[in-house]
Chains A and B, each alone.
Chain A
Amino acid sequence: MTDKGVGARLPRKEDRRFLTGQGEYVANLRLPGMLEVAFVRSPMAHGRIRGIGKFPGVFTAGDLQGVKPIRAISGLKGFKASEQPVLAIGKVRQVGELVAMCVAPTRAEAEDIADRVELDLEELPAVVDMVEARTNPPALVHDEWGDNVFLESLVDDDLSAVRGDAAVKVRRSIRTARQHMSPMEGRGVVCEWNRRLDQLVMHSAAQMPHINRAGLAECLGLDQGAIRVIAPDVGGGFGYKGILLPEEVCLAWLCMKLGRPVRWIEDRREQLSANANCREHHYDITVFADAKGRLLGIDCEATVDSGAYSSYPFSACLEGAQVSSILPGPYKMDRYRCRTWSVATNKAPILPYRGVARTGVCFALELMLDAVARELKMEPHEVRLANLVQPGEMPYTNITRKHFDSGDYPQAVRRAAKMIDVAAVRARQKKGEPDGRRIGVGFAIFCEQAAHGTSVYHGWGIPMVPGHEQCAARLSPDGVLELRIGAHSHGQGMETTMAQVAHTVLGVDPENVRLVHGDTGLTPYSTGTWGSRSMVMSGGAVAAACEVIAGRVKAIAAKLFEASIQDLVIAEGHVGVAGTDKRLSLAEIAHVWYRKPQLLPADVDPAGLEAIAGYKAEVDTGTFSYACHAATVAVDTETGRVDIIDYVVVEDGGTLVNPMIVDGQVFGGTAQGVGTALYEEMPFDAQGQPLATTLADYLLPSATEVPSIRIDHIETPSPYTRFGQKGIGEGGAIAPPAAIANAVNDALAPLGVEITESPLTPRRIVEALLKRRR
């Protein structure tokens, strides 16, 4: 490790512009002659379209000749495909669904037009509750299906033996609320047609621009080269910005139709009511354990509310199908059975949010572990220690064939228990609080598959299977290293971390590295930034490309020094002959190659100083970072208010490329997890109307609600990646709901109350207490 390479806490290069308000986002773009778009959206959750009062400046589905609906087909057996029309045809299936597009010189005027469009809709019964949707459906979301199930899956096993043997059997119904992703910047699109290049240029707040382009090309019937997607600075994504939105397809068509640039900037109300929904799960789960708390088996039926449509590219089943494969978590068990349903409802499509499925799964499983602990009068961390995969067993293939690469899971629990000081909490509980609040402590541990590749995704049949990740590297004439990657940073600090990787391989100062990303016209194809994959995959590709460049530099230097390539060393941005003072900087080598080729002999390697290299992990089933979170809370039993008074995270992300950035990821993720645990909820009425359509009703945690978080790192390198690094971007958001809920339940246990639904709002807590008292 050097002070600037892999492992350094290097300040973020991009912060120079971000922290001074100089970032360039889609909404900063003002093109000459640009028009603005506002949409007419469905006011009802389910209805038949009888008529739309059109006039000039208003476009409906019938106008969009040749535009195909968005199709995200899962290859999983039994999947029922849905077509998502970009503007509604025949029926509306969710509040906020696009019905018509209105265009005007300003957004306010476009909204004026939208206000005047009259919709004639026949209201149909709405499918609102996910369990009712499959067991007792009030209507069919997609009439031709015959039911409301996108996909049913079963991991079957015979549990009869453990049913008999189990000393403890715990059964619960557990629910996680429908939630909403809230990046600081919403979605936004500016489309223009470039006549010279015969090319559609879409500027979009996107985290997967190449996938965006692929989906757009399919909908518009254009070849992919006729589309360039540019994602400028992106203010947070969390999964939401990986989705191809109908709005993007509409704007692309409109700019071609009008021959003028057009723009749509999402507002919070659109985002909340129509677009960025996520997380809604229901579990009926039974856990069997022996008298020492050892897990014998789990039997689970899980329902995921997938909303009205299968969104591109991840499909309607990403969460549902993952639930059954990841529910066992980091634990060992003898038997496991899980049936899942991905259910269609008259709500916005469920989209992958940081931690995808894991946050709900961790909530369900970790609440059950605490229920077992209470049943057996064991400490919660002791029950976990009795069941975790042991370090000596790594690498370990678990009951659902997940291949854990490395780590010391029990160590994370032991350290967290020590940091949060369980004994001190127990003593404090015994004494009681002077203000009457009740104290509780809770744990949650998870492991997180990240950067998983071809072998995991090929079976899904979704429109994107990641293969080799690539980097194009160019040592430019002045010695500045340009790196082009297809992944995109929406807050991860890749301009810094990729430069650190280059520094480790080539010795180039990170200040002399330029990262080019977020533009399909300039970067190699990539599935983009998702699944905590960029540091492993793009980082690996950057290292591979730098290694190729190193070879090319040496080949040139060997000619100049008249030395053997084997004798050359690259260090500190220089190439030299080992054991001599012969030394040239990379800039000098580049200068010779580009500007003074007369100095080179005729037989020099013609490949030059520009290279594309690809990378794939040796074993591509993914890295498994893991963490144990522990929280101490104080519950005001009169008001239901929960204060987090201590919070610790013990995290293992393998080799940390930039520990400061990793800490930032953990802090940010944990803050979001606090939101999931205590605040964030999108309720619906019986007609399927979303009830939290502004940030006055949809509560996000802010600085005052996020506790001070103490982080401890374990560093167990992954045996399968270039530097031993593991994907870690999502982890922070996975465990907090479970840890905080367990802490609340620990506080309330003496009162005989247990909450199994998130978020743990004051209302839920007070109502549970009142019910118990009655």
Chain B
Amino acid sequence: MKAGAFDYARPKDLAEAVHLLSTENARILAGGQSLGPMLNLRAVQPALLVDLRAIEELKSFNEDSESVTLGACITHAQIEDGRVPDPTHGFMREIAANIAYRAVRNRGTVGGSLAHADPAADWPSALTLLGATVVIAGPGGRRELLVEKFFTGLFDTALRAGEILVAIRVPKRSAAARYGFWKFCRKAGEFPQAIGGALTDPERNEARAVIGATQGAPHLFDDAENVFKHKDFLAAADAAGAGDDPYNRQLHAVALKRAAEKAFS
């Protein structure tokens, strides 16, 4: 299948991009790794594609004592290759390195992945686990939102019409922090059927747990310490909304269990 006809714009700055997005039926192109197939299948038929990849701010990064901020158009490959700072001592590099295939990672972007909000994608769950914050620009100016508040459902986010996800800020944790991320894929490079994420930072007395690749937003547990303590992962899968089908329930329970084993090993 071939995409229907559309116009294409490649703005140089954010203001122009925001302006272009006010066009009827405009859509953002970031990495195109999900959008490309959707266009070809005519699952989406935009009138205008606004390509964000010429905007310098979206391709840049910066770092302070508390966090690292990554522009939305930074690719998975840049993170994988360590070309941007990793506030998690290698955990984010590992996440990036296991996304799909290298060809996808060369073009796919971290911001695109979040804005697309496919529950089976890696970054939504991983950045929820990390307590990251998204920076959003729009006609009404800028705002910030915790990633866990950003996802509102299946392919659904808190982005309003005309808004652009500009950057992701990931907090730094202590060197003692340990991470576990485990996903179940039918084969290498495929979208996972279940994701589990676990984080423990003994110095900060912090524990976080996530179940992803469900039919909704990644589920962040507000009682992660209890989950890790009682190890009733089937109940955790139920709490995450993965309990409708015995197979899915088991896979999600195993995913969190194995992620926890990794974080606490």
User: Which A residues contact B (CB, under 8 angstroms)?
Assistant: 106-108, 111-112, 115, 267, 269, 638-641, 679, 694, 696, 699, 701-702, 704-705, 761-763, 766-767, 770
Contact = CB atoms under 8 A, between A and B. Distances in A.
A29 to B, nearest CB: 18
Given A638-B254, A702-B188, A705-B188, A766 B1 contact: no
Interface string B81-103: 00000000000000000000000
A115 B42 CA distance: 10
Nearest to A640: B247
- In order of increasing CB-CB distance, the 7 nearest A-B pairs are A108-B2, A704-B188, A638-B254, A763-B247, A107-B2, A766-B247, A705-B187
B121 to A, nearest CB: 13
Contacts of B193: 762
Interface string B1-45: 111110000000000000000000000000000000100011000
B79 interface: no
B222 interface: no
A638 B250 contact: yes
Contacts of A705: 187-188
Contact of B4 (A112, A679, A767): A112
A231 B77 CA distance: 41
Contacts of A696: 37, 190-191
Contacts of A115: 4, 42
Contacts, number: 60
Nearest to B251: A639
B202 interface: no
B1 A267 contact: yes
B141 interface: no
Contact of A701 (B4, B42, B187, B247): B187
A694 B41 CA distance: 10
Interface in B240-265: 246-247, 250-251, 254
B196 to A, nearest CB: 12
B139 interface: no
B204 interface: no
19 contacts: A108-B4, A108-B5, A111-B4, A112-B5, A269-B41, A639-B250, A639-B254, A679-B186, A696-B37, A696-B191, A699-B187, A702-B189, A704-B187, A704-B189, A705-B188, A761-B186, A762-B247, A763-B247, A770-B247
A337 B247 CA distance: 39
Interface in B178-193: 184, 186-191, 193
B189 A108 contact: no
Interface centre among B184, B247, B251 (most CB of A within 10 A): B247
A269 B187 contact: no
A694 B40 CA distance: 12
A131 B190 CA distance: 33
Given A111-B1, A115-B42, A699 B190 contact: yes
Contacts of B254: 638-639
B7 to A, nearest CB: 14
A111 B251 contact: no
Contact of A679 (B187, B247, B251): B187
A468 B3 CA distance: 49
A772 B246 CA distance: 13
A233 B4 CA distance: 30
A325 B257 CA distance: 51
Contacts of A267: 1
Contacts of A679: 186-187
B247 A641 contact: no
B184 A639 contact: yes
A520 B77 CA distance: 50
B186 to A, nearest CB: 6
B187 A767 contact: no
A137 to B, nearest CB: 30
Interface residues of B, number: 21
B242 to A, nearest CB: 13
Contacts of A704: 187-189
Interface string B219-250: 00000000000000000000000000011001
Contacts of A770: 246-247, 250
A699 B247 contact: no
Given A639-B251, A763-B247, A766-B250, A269 B188 contact: no
Contacts of B2: 106-108, 111
A267 B4 CA distance: 16
Contacts of B42: 111, 115
A696 B121 CA distance: 13
Contacts of B247: 640, 762-763, 766-767, 770
Contacts of B1: 111, 267, 269
Nearest to A703: B188
Contacts of A762: 184, 186, 193, 247, 251
Contacts of B251: 639, 762, 766
Contacts of A111: 1-2, 4, 42
Interface string B65-79: 000000000000000
Nearest to A108: B2
Given A639-B251, A770-B250, 10 more contacts: A112-B5, A267-B1, A639-B250, A639-B254, A679-B186, A694-B41, A696-B37, A702-B187, A762-B247, A770-B246
Contacts of B5: 108, 112
B246 A767 contact: yes
Contacts of A108: 2-5
Contact of B37 (A694, A763, A766): A694
A112 B190 CA distance: 31
Contacts of A107: 2
A761 B254 CA distance: 17
B188 A641 contact: no
Contacts of A640: 247
Nearest to B4: A112
A112 B4 CA distance: 7
A106 to B, nearest CB: 8
Interface centre among A107, A108, A694 (most CB of B within 10 A): A108
Interface centre among B5, B37, B250, B254 (most CB of A within 10 A): B250
Nearest to A769: B250
A701 B247 CA distance: 22
Nearest to B186: A699
Contacts of B187: 679, 699, 701-702, 704-705
Interface centre among A112, A701, A705, A766 (most CB of B within 10 A): A766
B166 to A, nearest CB: 29
A115 B3 CA distance: 12
Nearest to B194: A639
A763 B251 CA distance: 9
Contacts of B186: 679, 699, 761-762
A272 to B, nearest CB: 12
A111 B39 CA distance: 13
Contacts of A112: 4-5
A266 to B, nearest CB: 11
A174 B142 CA distance: 61
B84 to A, nearest CB: 27
Interface in B97-119: none
A696 B254 CA distance: 23
B206 to A, nearest CB: 28
Contacts of B189: 702, 704
A701 B41 CA distance: 23
Interface centre among A107, A639, A702, A770 (most CB of B within 10 A): A639
A704 B42 CA distance: 31
Contacts of B37: 694, 696
A103 to B, nearest CB: 14
B89 to A, nearest CB: 26
B174 to A, nearest CB: 30
A705 B184 CA distance: 14
A763 B254 CA distance: 14
A267 B187 CA distance: 23
A442 B254 CA distance: 27
Contacts of A638: 250, 254
A618 B95 CA distance: 63
